Amino acid sequence: MIEARNVSKRYGPILAVDDLSFTVPSGEVTGFLGPNGSGKSTTMRMIVGLDAPSAGSVTIDGRAYAKHRFPLHEVGALLDANAVHPGRSARNHLVWLADSNEISRHRVDEVLATVGLSEVGHRRAGDLSLGMGQRLGIAAALLGDPGVLIFDEPINGLDPEGIVWVRRLLRSLAAEGRTVLVSSHLMSEMALTADTLIVIGRGRLLATGRVADFIERSSGHHVRAVSPDAPALADLLRDKGATVTDDGPNALSIKGIEASDVGIIAGGAGLVLYELMTQRASLEDAFMELTQEHADYRAPTEMPQPSRA
Amino acid sequence: MSQTVAAYRAPTTTVPGLRRIFRAATRSEWTKLRTVRSTMWALMFTVVSTIGLGVLLTALEVSRWDHRTLTEFKGFDPLLYSFAGLNVAQMAIGVLGVLVMTSEYATGAIKLTFGATPQRPLLLAAKVATFSAVVAAVSLISCVSVFFICQALLAPKHAGVSIADPGVLVAVVGGALHLVLIGAIAVGVGAALRRTAGAVAVLFAVLLVVPGLVTLLPSPWNDDITRYLPSSAGAAMAAVVHFPNLLSPLAGFIVLGAYTVGMLGVAALLLVRNDA
């Protein structure tokens, strides 16, 4: 279990992480979401003791990372897959890591096989493809068979097959009862992989909770109805307490009432329905909504139209 | 936590002591050193320059032996030319020592290193111990080889010395130890500055530029200060005949050792205080 208690990190005038508290439980995949520059990586660096918090504390299984001895047996982290000496072979990269924590060479070959790099273990790390480098970073995290795993953007540079592989790996690690924290800016990926989310923006905690609840709570969740009698239907629904807005010709966007109830109301009034469906918000929508005011570096939503000559 | 679901169980090994962590870290550092080509190149350069330059300069001296002036005879240190290559070798060792730390900062691998061994001063100690052991082996082989080859060249002129002569063994071991200490200082400079270019520049400035500047100072000061510079203290460790601007071998060792301990102390403090 990872526990952050009122953690702050200040770099000069910039408060990168601001009074952040959260718990990452074991046995599930916890997604760590936030726009670029929101403090995800800084928080992860503090979890593994690379940076010291300016205030507050971060512990893994009740102890600060620096208090762990041979920590690779307890915590595996992939923070930066490029952090390898390009001249050293992939296998030797794992061998020195293994040596530092009394992990056997046998285990080195085992994790190389797990990530599918047995064939290229002798190759210089600098000659590996982006995807292979990512797999090597994951192998390093798995080396000590740790109970806590931390991955910063693990699917960067992976091909579709690799992405599915990482997704399965994370799920299986969690199913074995391990603690798994994954940061990503790909919300769709989190929807498929994570059980719980921690969402931050500008270093502050914006929300935590189950992925399903996030989608449910989002304002993007609504019922769409198309009817030739749209205005009449809208009046009826408003009487029942629903919020109704126009959504194109004859179409209504309805919130606060289930699709089945819309059907019953329309049927009771003898109104014709051409179309009736529940529009589920994607995690993207939920996320964008949450981080709206907090995005530091997000591009404008609409691209400016090129002016015609 | 209590809700552990299935197969995974936390390992129940005993908590390793600091000595065991240190031993594992030195093993890891040894793996790092031997699996990168630059190590082999720098060490080979050390051997070749130490032996090559020593032999070359000694041979030149022997060839013009009969034309030498009396003053040259009087102050002749039979080891001076033999160990001329050490000045070049210390540059190779210095760069390699700097790289022990800075290459990890450059590639980002330092994050993994600290992640594996969060006890940072202990890690620095392991790096210094491992690197020093390698340098000690290489420079002892170089110094002993160059000593015997050069003395064989000097023998026909009856100018050579025996390893059994007073002060000679000390000088040969001192020459090797000089390189070890320079290497350790370089690791410390690398750890403190983190960047290869800056660390190499500082190291070379201290070893090469500062001594040149100090000689320009007015008379008693230049010798008084020169004596205590790292470069002179190191040279004193490998000298048999002693010039007024050199300390005794033991004093040289103590002075250079003090620089080494001081530099590594500062480096350890910075590693603990600053974020990785």
Q: Are residues A228 and A153 in the same domain?
A: no
Q: Are residues A45 and A173 in the same domain?
A: yes
In angstroms, how far is CA A270 from the centroid of its own chain? 46
* Residue in chain A nearest B11 by alpha carbon: A73
At residue B21, the pLDDT reads: 96
Stretch (H or E) spanning A266:
helix A259-268
Does residue A112 form part of some domain? yes
Q: Are residues A159 and A266 in the same domain?
A: no
Average pLDDT over residues B141-146: 93
The full DSSP string for A198-239 is EEEETTEEEEEEEHHHHHHHSTT-EEEEE-TTHHHHHHHHHH
Spatial CB neighbours of A16, under 8 Å, sequence gap ≥ 6? A9, A10, A39, A42, A203
- Tell me the two tokens of residue B258: 């003090």
* Residue in chain B nearest A87 by alpha carbon: B36
Pick A97's closest partner by Cβ from B3, B16, B112. B112
Rounded CA gap, B138 and B135, in Å?
Answer: 5
The CATH number of the domain holding residue A53 is 3.40.50.300
Which residue has tokens 């270093």? A203
Chain B contact set for A73 (CB, 8 A): 11, 13
Domain count, chain A: 2
Chain B closest CA to A87's CA: distance in Å? 6
Does residue A150 form part of some domain? yes
Q: Which residues of A141-171 are buried (b: 16+ CB within 10 A; e: fewer)?
A: bbbbbbbbbbbbbbbbbbeeebbebbbebbb
Chain B closest CA to A126's CA: distance in Å? 11
Does residue A83 form part of some domain? yes
CB of B225 closer than 8 Å to CB of B212: no
Q: Are residues A15 and A135 in the same domain?
A: yes
Does residue A308 form part of some domain? no
Pick A70's closest partner by Cβ from B9, B21, B35. B21
B6/A176 CB distance under 8 A: yes
- The pLDDT tens digits along chain A (309 residues) read 999 999 999 998 999 999 999 999 999 999 998 888 889 999 999 999 999 999 999 999 999 999 999 999 999 999 998 899 999 999 999 999 999 999 999 999 999 999 999 999 999 999 999 999 999 999 999 999 999 999 999 988 888 899 999 999 999 999 999 999 999 877 778 888 999 999 988 899 988 999 888 777 766 678 899 999 899 999 999 998 888 988 888 899 998 888 888 999 999 989 999 999 888 767 777 777 776 655 544 444 444 455 544
Pick B8's closest partner by Cβ from A52, A140, A177. A177
B117/A100 CB distance under 8 A: yes
Rounded CA gap, A266 and A260, in Å?
Answer: 10
Residue B3 has pLDDT above 50, yes or no: no
DSSP letter (8 states) at residue A89: B
Give this complex's ipTM.
0.88
* Residue in chain A nearest B271 by alpha carbon: A50
Q: Are residues A117 and A173 in the same domain?
A: yes
Asked which of A193, A213, A233 is the last residue of a domain, the reply is A213
Rounded CA gap, B203 and A270, in Å?
Answer: 90
Q: Are residues A120 and A242 in the same domain?
A: no
Which residue has tokens 């391990």? A178
Does residue A130 form part of some domain? yes
DSSP letter (8 states) at residue B82: T
Rounded CA gap, B29 and B126, in Å?
Answer: 7
Q: Are residues A172 and A101 in the same domain?
A: yes
Q: Are residues A117 and A227 in the same domain?
A: no
Chain B closest CA to A86's CA: distance in Å? 8
A74/B10 CB distance under 8 A: yes
A140/B112 CB distance under 8 A: yes
Does residue A14 form part of some domain? yes
Pick A83's closest partner by Cβ from B15, B27, B111. B111
Chain B closest CA to A70's CA: distance in Å? 6
Q: Are residues A186 and A240 in the same domain?
A: no
Q: Are residues A23 and A54 in the same domain?
A: yes
Q: Are residues A135 and A50 in the same domain?
A: yes
B8/A92 CB distance under 8 A: no
Chain B closest CA to A285's CA: distance in Å? 32
Residues in chain B: 276
pTM of the model: 0.85
A80/B111 CB distance under 8 A: yes
SS3 of B123-170: the string is: HHHHHHHHHHHHHHHHHHHHHHHHHHHHHHHHHHHCCCCCCCCCCHHH
Spatial CB neighbours of A123, under 8 Å, sequence gap ≥ 6? A89, A90
Does residue A291 form part of some domain? no
Chain B contact set for A86 (CB, 8 A): 107
Residue B121 has pLDDT above 80, yes or no: yes
Mutate to test the interface with A, among B38, B100, B275 (most CBs of A within 10 A): B275
pLDDT category at B11 given cuts 50, 70, 90 is: low
Q: At what angle do helices A130-142 and A105-114 cross, to 10 degrees?
A: 130
Rounded CA gap, B245 and B254, in Å?
Answer: 16
- Distance (Å) of CA A74 to CA A16, A64, A234, B147: 27, 12, 58, 52
Asked which of A181, A213, A245 is the last residue of a domain, the reply is A213
Residues 124..183 of A with a Cβ closer than 8 Å to B: which? 140, 145, 147, 175-178
Does residue A293 form part of some domain? no
Spatial CB neighbours of B165, under 8 Å, sequence gap ≥ 6? B240
Domain that holds residue A244: 222-279
**For B166-217, what is each residue's pLDDT tens digit?**
888 999 999 999 999 999 999 999 999 999 999 999 999 999 999 989 989 8
Q: Are residues A242 and A155 in the same domain?
A: no
Which residue has tokens 């009740």? A62
CB of B132 closer than 8 Å to CB of B180: yes
Chain A contact set for B27 (CB, 8 A): 99-100
Residues 64..123 of A with a Cβ closer than 8 Å to B: which? 65-75, 77, 79-80, 82-89, 92, 95-97, 99-102
CB of B4 closer than 8 Å to CB of A177: yes
Spatial CB neighbours of A23, under 8 Å, sequence gap ≥ 6? A1, A2, A3, A4
Is B48 strand, coil or helix? helix
